[in-house]
Amino acid sequence: MATDELDPVFALHRGGKMEVRSTVPVRDRDDLSLAYTPGVARVCTAIAENPELVHDYTWVSNTVAVVTDGTAVLGLGDIGPAASLPVMEGKAILFKQFGGVDAVPIALDCTDVDELVDTIARLAPSFGGINLEDISAPRCFEVERRLQERVSIPVFHDDQHGTAIVALAALRNAATVTGRGLRDLRAVISGAGAAGIAIAKILIEAGIGDLCVVDSRGIVHEGRDDLTPIKRMIAELTNKAGLRGGIEVAMKGADVFLGVSAGKVPEEVVATMAPEAIIFAMANPNPEIEPDLAHKYAAVVATGRSDYPNQINNVLAFPGVFAGALSVRAKRITEGMKVAAAEALAAVVADELAPDRVIPSPFDERVAPAVTKAVAEAARRDGVARI
């Protein structure tokens, strides 16, 4: 694809979208001696004696690494580390814009799980948290789990948990709009990748009535012999009705559809959902169920697109989640912290609910402070806060 310097997208990206700036002046010899040698040696010595001081006297307390291997970038797939950098830069500026958190984009030229975990773990002392981004499933599950076992700072795979937090927040409000609670709903999740598995886990944690997950081979159930370990775990926790078959079986009588896959759902299948259905067709840019079609059968419709109401956008979650975790020097991000983030996000628009407003806008200035506060409080409750 040729670049076009008259194209405003290429013009904006020329030279990159971010830079590093000093927070202290270096105007003369006195400033230099304080910011660098010899003064800096005293700070280094203090940190060597008490490593926790790194949070007080370096950028660690408010900086995360945004790390990818470039294997699952947006809807572009495996485009490699270099091509992923514009996305990682974009993520970093969203951290700053919406959460006041500094972020550094890091694209790694390796895809082996062992190498990824080892490399990121070795980088960890420079940061207060690790945001994993655009790493393909199922490796992303293993990378996150093993990395969190190695480091004592939060590790958060946003493609999983950011999507799940926002989806739960929107679903809480959509249930309220239609006169129900989560425990009244049977949900279908289309897609068993990173986002689908995370949504299933957070809905179970939040008390969903029942749900089933559908992958490319049909409903995920305990009788299947082709399940990965993570899908087997989901099979054990879901599908109380014991359904077997394809998406058409799962959707019949379902209250909720949550789409995080590329597959289209036929209208005749959508038409079998329960009255007052809720449809979150989040594939981007092409939803699994087109909004005009969804509105024929659903009371509340959400997508992943910014040109329709009720956008399920990760930027509503990850800046506040990290800001909250960093503010209390959390060792990790717990399920309780994620649910607290979703509840706080839902509460932002609790007094303004309507079918086309079950989730705030990313530009709503109430979002990040609310999520930050809720996550910090949950970290203390869950015993993972250091302060």
372-385 pLDDT, tens per residue?
999 999 999 999 99
Annotated catalytic residue 252: no
Percent of the chain with pLDDT over 90: 89
Place 11 in a pLDDT band, splitting at 50, 70 and 90. Answer: confident
Q: Which of 227-231, 274-278, 339-343 has the lowest mean pLDDT?
A: 227-231
- Is residue 284 part of an annotated ligand binding site? yes
Which whole number is the average pLDDT over 182-189?
A: 96
Say if residues 357 and 349 touch (Cβ distance below 8 Å).
Answer: yes
Q: How far apart are CA 213 and CA 194, in angstroms?
A: 12
Q: Which fold has domain 161-303?
A: Rossmann fold (3.40.50)
Selecting among 91, 201, 231, 331, the annotated active-site residue is 91
H or E stretch including 188?
strand 186-190
Which whole number is the average pLDDT over 17-25?
A: 90
> Residues 318-332: pLDDT tens digits?
999 999 999 999 999
Annotated catalytic residue 231: no
- Is residue 205 part of an annotated ligand binding site? no
> Residues 238-261: pLDDT tens digits?
999 999 999 999 999 999 999 998
Selecting among 17, 36, 96, 297, the annotated active-site residue is 36
Q: How far apart are CA 153 and CA 128, in angstroms?
A: 6
- Is residue 307 part of an annotated ligand binding site? no
Task: Tell me the Ramachandran region of residue 339: left when phi exceeds 0, alpha when psi lies from -120 to 50, beta otherwise.
Answer: alpha
Please give the pLDDT value at position 94.
96
Q: How far apart are CA 270 and CA 272, in angstroms?
A: 5
Please give the pLDDT value at position 1.
57
- Is residue 314 part of an annotated ligand binding site? no
Model pTM? 0.92
- Parse the chain into domains and list their residue ranges: 24-57, 161-303
